[in-house]
């Protein structure tokens, strides 16, 4: 049965992006350090990452990716990633939550939808029985949690303090009860998996 997962990387002080996140610098100033685990070590916006995840990072990523059939992203993530160069970076349907669904995205493989509930519903249909992953940013994950759509939440903690930027739970006022279901650790990240209790 299809599950709805959400996951995002945060700094130790709770930021999912550093200050001044924008197209071409989607994780903000210093924020690329959050994703050292994805690319196997240091990288910068000026020098594209050359490597990939390894060790426990790769194991978590491979296990998670094997479960997925569709992905949901927020419009700001799409913009901050500079539209991923006009190509869907996932090998599966990608639904972009936006207030402007009538705008056609650049390139193939993107579907713009109005609202997180519609995006998740369409992603579940497209997932072919596999799971749906809400990749972020923070705003779309908060909306999905507030709507009761998320069944499993992964918080990936990078060993860095950013000191400013965007926080995952800014403005979130609901109380959630989580059940711890998994933990992995590497030099670049700690992966904490939760089930969202209903």
Q: List Cα–Cα distances, 147 to 21, 67, 93, 166, 196, in angstroms.
A: 26, 23, 22, 21, 12
Q: What is the pLDDT along the chain (198 residues), one digit of tens a residue?
A: 899 999 999 999 999 999 988 888 889 999 999 999 999 999 888 887 788 999 999 999 999 999 999 999 999 888 888 788 888 888 899 999 998 766 666 566 789 999 999 999 999 999 999 999 999 899 999 999 999 999 999 999 999 999 999 999 999 999 999 999 999 999 999 999 999 998
Q: Where are the domains of the chain?
A: 4-18+26-42+49-196
Residues 144 and 24: beta-carbon distance below 8 Å = no
Q: List Cα–Cα distances, 73 to 29, 84, 124, 186, 194, in angstroms.
A: 21, 12, 14, 26, 20
pTM: predicted TM-score of the whole model, two decimal places: 0.93
Please tell me the predicted confidence (pLDDT) of residue 108.
67
Please tell me the predicted confidence (pLDDT) of residue 180.
97
Structure tokens at 40: 């196997």
Please tell me the predicted confidence (pLDDT) of residue 78.
87
R_g of the chain, CA atoms, integer Å: 16
Structure tokens at 169: 């739970």
Please tell me the predicted confidence (pLDDT) of residue 101.
64
- CATH top-level class of 4-18+26-42+49-196: alpha beta
């Amino acid at each position: 049965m299809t599950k709805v997962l959400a996951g995002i990387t945060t700094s130790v002080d709770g930021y999912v992006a550093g200050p001044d996140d924008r197209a071409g610098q989607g994780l903000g100033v210093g924020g690329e350090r959050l994703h050292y685990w994805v690319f196997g070590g240091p990288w910068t916006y000026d020098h594209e990452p050359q490597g990939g995840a390894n060790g426990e990072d790769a194991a978590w990523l491979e296990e998670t990716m094997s479960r997925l059939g569709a992905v949901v992203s927020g419009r700001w993530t799409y913009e901050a990633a500079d539209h991923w160069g006009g190509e869907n970076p996932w090998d599966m349907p990608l639904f972009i939550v936006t207030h402007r669904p009538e705008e056609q995205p650049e390139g193939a493989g993107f579907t713009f939808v109005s609202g997180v509930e519609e995006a998740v519903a369409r992603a579940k249909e497209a997932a072919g029985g596999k799971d749906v992953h809400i990749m972020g940013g923070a705003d779309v994950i908060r909306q999905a949690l507030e709507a009761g759509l998320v069944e499993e939440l992964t918080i990936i903690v990078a060993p860095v303090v950013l000191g400013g930027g965007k926080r995952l739970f800014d403005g979130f006022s609901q109380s959630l009860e989580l059940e711890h279901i998994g933990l992995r650790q590497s030099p670049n990240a700690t992966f904490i998996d939760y089930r969202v209790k209903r």
